[in-house]
Structure 1
Amino acid sequence: MNTNRLTGTAATAIALALALGACGSGSDDKGSSSPATNDARGPITFATGKDLTGTIQKLVAKWNTAHPSEKVRIIELPEDGDQTRQQLVQNAQIKSNAYDVIRLDAVWTAEFAARRWVLPLDESKLDPSTFLPTALETGKYRGKLYAAPWLTGTGILYYRTDLLKAAGVKSPPKTWAELSDACAKVKKTSQGKGVDCYAGQHDKYEGLAVNYSEAVQSAGGRVFDDSGKPQVATPQAKAGLQFLVDGFKQGTIPSKSVTFKEEEGRRAFQDGKLVFHRNWAYVYAMASAKDGSSKVNGKFDVVPLPGKDGPGSGTLGGNNLSVSAFSKHQATARDFIAYIVSLDIQREYGKEQSFPLSRAALYDDPEMIKLYPYLPVLKKGLEAAGSRPVAVKYSEVSAAIQDHVTAAISGKKTVDQASADLQTALSGLTD
């Protein structure tokens, strides 16, 4: 695989992962008037992230050649997710028509749809049945599709094949207990000395909310039920939080990882300092680098996240595409979205970058699997993944989770107290 190409790809994926933390707030503008829709055609803009590989530019150029009177101009948004959301919100608040097609983080759908800043999409143009079902759900709000799935992803478990083999561990863990047992065996080997067991993203930011949600789901619980009510004080949710608390207390999760975001953990794993690591798909390419930057090239593999009693459940990430409610050429915007998320164009895009895409067929495509061997594992993870809360006030939800989970893993609160306090906090945000 082209290392230089993947370096740019990884940077894109990192920016996307960081964007997971930049989520909406505010109330549901139920009383606001619906924006005017139109079937007008003409030139449009595409507000998206930095195109570090140049692939999006190529795909847009292909569209422009075929549609000379409906050309697309790319507008690159900031790499920082908070700044991206702020820029999109500011444009929507003044009803600016500067953007026609906008790229939204998967958890921004509810906010932008509730405030009527984006319009429902014509599903007949998109063939929804061919998307990964979990990815499709991230684009919906109150049963309607407002954002077409484009980039997706979920957490997967990276593990050191060489260390497990040296310790006599025959298969990667499917449960938390198996993970802990495997680490104990590795530490008894000469190769395992000085190697920590497991780390995810445990700093106080959106990554902690994601890791907490995954732990709850992997214990059989849910942060919110189907009606949007918090369920974080259930025995299953407490078991998920207990996994994180016990991990730090017992040393399964090293204390220093309380400051880990995606990149800190990635570097630790890539430098050979972790047996197991939870992260996104972009790490695979970087850890496979043959230029000397990775000490684990050829010495690792991936599996779905483990859980309390069996395989666990990751949290969905990703970016989707929506039509701005203030676009002057909405028909062209809708058609461009259908083009860019189509199977053939996604396949073309996927060959040039490693961030997972939303069409299910790509995960069974031999050519794509040859490029990205982790795809079958990722598909299993995506099928079992859960979405983050569909909440207009998502930023407040995430902040509450971060506050109370941090209090628990730092020992300032018991699991029972942190869970009860979090239940109260979340109830106040969703009532």
Structure 2
Amino acid sequence: MTTRSLRAGAAALVLALGAVGLAACGSGDDGGKAAAPAGNDARGPITLALGKDLTRTVPRLVARWNDAHPNERARLVELPEDGDQARQQLVQNMRIKSDAYDVVRLDAVWTAEFAARRWIQELPKDLADARTLVPAALRTGMYRGRLYAEPWLTGTGVLYYREDLLAKAGVKAPPKTWAEMREDCAKVKRLPEGKGVDCYAGQYAKYEGLTVNYAEAVQSAGGQVFDASGKPQVNTPQAKAGLRFLVDGFGNGTIPGKGVTFKEEEGRRAFQEGSLLFHRNWAYVYALASEKDGSEVAGRFDVAPIPGEHGPGSGVLGGNNLAVSAFSKHQASARDFIAYIVSPSVQGEYGRAQSFPLSLAALYDDPGMIKKYPYLPTLREGMESARPRPVVVRYNEVSVAVQEQVTAALTGGKSVDRAAEDLQKALTALAD
């Protein structure tokens, strides 16, 4: 996560696939100056529908807002940990035009859908100073050239690894390729300390995390899920090589069988309990795995960019953005709360309290932050090759199709070739 890579490389990557989504959603040219955001300017109590905060930092920030805004107090509601369940809860709320939520947390790829369906309100472009934000993150909140969701969290997947076990096995550097990772696992398995330690796992349960891990595998083999024109490319030799890496991983024991049930937290706990040598996950894991109370690997792990078929792999650009529900009765208060939570001072405090990578670009050059979270240079390196998921209105259907076919391949229901062929057909139908 960088200033250099985020201001240049990552922005170019977003443009490459972002153009795909915008072509599917409609032209980004508004034909002149965009109209001012509609909505209401009412103030009053607000409800925040955010994700589960394992670091317990957000409630403290909400309490501070409440102390300063006694007539606009915010109530925090935690969305389900499962991303698909969180989305479904929000969709059900929006479909009935409920005013139960005022500020909603959106996965970066939900922006187009929620904006196109007029479920979220356009935001003033000066809600936060765009010059202070990671450009790649800012683009994930845009739809048709307008801002609908303010970037808050961003980042890409990284490889957590047991530095102590690799050193014990004579391995001097983390793996850059899948083959090197398997070789390293074999060396550690021969150690007495390596008994009972599985090789590698990511997120392979049938949910959004599987879509992310599949896309990363495809990209890390030199392929792409969609090309720049919006055409699916999942039946190519490179894309099939990525899927084969996952399927063979379960078949040869590189990935433990129970990994097919792993979401972020199941994998984090397995790594934190010392039962995984390598683990693909997001940056939030760093702070939790470093806690001396409750982590068996504190002080004994490090992070690296994810490996690929022939060299360092390519991660998926993730992130959470904040939006104002179109059905909120107190939209002025909701907008002000978002401005508060993404402000430099609050992001700085939040960044020092937990290891989620935030949208404020300056945090990635802050010596104090790097000292506290040494993973930041690695995350910056990973961001240079990261790619966003397609920004399309029907993204959820795309993700479901990926989950169906990849799960069938991982569980032996289909061959790699058949799953790739069927997925190509399904995505082509969705792209038409």
Q: Is the CA contact 1:281–1:356 (under 8 Å) kept in the aligned structure 2?
A: yes
**What displacement does 1:55 show?**
4.1
In 2: Cα distance, 1:144 partner to 1:86 partner: 25
- Correspondence 1:183 to 2:185: yes
* Structure 1 pair 102–295 and aligned structure 2 pair: CA distance change class (3 A): closer
**What displacement does 1:354 show?**
3.0
Q: Aligned residue for 1:352?
A: 353
Deviation per residue, 1:158-217 (Å, 9 max, x gap): 111122112221111112122122222223333333422111122222222111011112
| Amino acid corresponding to residue 371 of structure 2 in structure 1 | K
Q: Aligned residue for 1:172?
A: 174
Q: Secondary structure at the match of 1:158?
A: strand
- State how 1:220-299 maps to structure 2 within 5 Å: 220-291=222-293, 293-299=294-300
* Structure 1 pair 129–225 and aligned structure 2 pair: CA distance change class (3 A): farther
Structure 2 length-normalised TM: 0.83
**What displacement does 1:332 show?**
4.4
Q: Is the CA contact 1:304–1:377 (under 8 Å) kept in the aligned structure 2?
A: yes
**What displacement does 1:398 show?**
1.9
- State how 1:201-212 maps to structure 2 within 5 Å: 201-212=203-214
Q: Is the CA contact 1:153–1:317 (under 8 Å) kept in the aligned structure 2?
A: yes
Q: Aligned residue for 1:9?
A: none
Q: Aligned residue for 2:30?
A: none
**What displacement does 1:341 show?**
0.9
Q: Aligned residue for 2:133?
A: 131
Instruction: Name the stretch that deviates more: 401-410 or 263-272.
Output: 263-272
- State how 1:147-158 maps to structure 2 within 5 Å: 147-158=149-160
**What displacement does 1:355 show?**
2.4
| Amino acid corresponding to residue 397 of structure 2 in structure 1 | E
| Amino acid corresponding to residue 140 of structure 1 in structure 2 | M
Q: Aligned residue for 1:380?
A: 381
Q: Is the CA contact 1:139–1:149 (under 8 Å) kept in the aligned structure 2?
A: yes
**What displacement does 1:306 show?**
1.0
Q: Secondary structure at the match of 1:258?
A: helix
Q: Secondary structure at the match of 2:371?
A: helix
Q: Aligned residue for 1:17?
A: none
In 2: Cα distance, 1:62 partner to 1:287 partner: 28
Q: Secondary structure at the match of 1:177?
A: helix
* Structure 1 pair 36–95 and aligned structure 2 pair: CA distance change class (3 A): farther
Instruction: Name the stretch that deviates more: 96-105 or 156-165.
Output: 96-105
In 1: Cα distance, 2:53 partner to 2:271 partner: 27
Q: Is the CA contact 1:228–1:390 (under 8 Å) kept in the aligned structure 2?
A: no
In 2: Cα distance, 1:276 partner to 1:379 partner: 20
Q: Is the CA contact 1:230–1:426 (under 8 Å) kept in the aligned structure 2?
A: yes
Q: Is the CA contact 1:28–1:111 (under 8 Å) kept in the aligned structure 2?
A: no
* Structure 1 pair 160–86 and aligned structure 2 pair: CA distance change class (3 A): closer
**One of 101, 108, 111 as aligned partner of 2:110:** 108
Deviation per residue, 1:32-83 (Å, 9 max, x gap): xx998146252252422356666445444554566676x2422414435555
Identity %: 67
Q: Is the CA contact 1:217–1:312 (under 8 Å) kept in the aligned structure 2?
A: yes
Q: Is the CA contact 1:133–1:383 (under 8 Å) kept in the aligned structure 2?
A: no
Instruction: Name the stretch that deviates more: 371-380 or 305-314.
Output: 371-380
| Amino acid corresponding to residue 87 of structure 2 in structure 1 | R
Q: How many residue pairs align between the two structures?
A: 400
**One of 185, 191, 194 as aligned partner of 1:192:** 194
Q: Is the CA contact 2:150–2:338 (under 8 Å) kept in the aligned structure 1?
A: yes
Q: Aligned residue for 1:370?
A: 371
Q: Is the CA contact 2:38–2:122 (under 8 Å) kept in the aligned structure 1?
A: no
* Structure 1 pair 186–88 and aligned structure 2 pair: CA distance change class (3 A): closer
Q: Secondary structure at the match of 1:168?
A: coil
- State how 1:286-325 maps to structure 2 within 5 Å: 286-291=288-293, 293-325=294-326
In 1: Cα distance, 2:424 partner to 2:259 partner: 26
In 1: Cα distance, 2:252 partner to 2:54 partner: 41
In 2: Cα distance, 1:209 partner to 1:51 partner: 23
Q: Aligned residue for 1:415?
A: 416
Q: Aligned residue for 2:46?
A: 45
Deviating 4+ runs (over 6 angstroms): 27-30
* Structure 1 pair 257–371 and aligned structure 2 pair: CA distance change class (3 A): same
Structure 1 length-normalised TM: 0.83
Q: Is the CA contact 1:230–1:427 (under 8 Å) kept in the aligned structure 2?
A: yes
Q: Is the CA contact 1:134–1:385 (under 8 Å) kept in the aligned structure 2?
A: no
Runs of 5+ unmatched residues, structure 1: 1-26
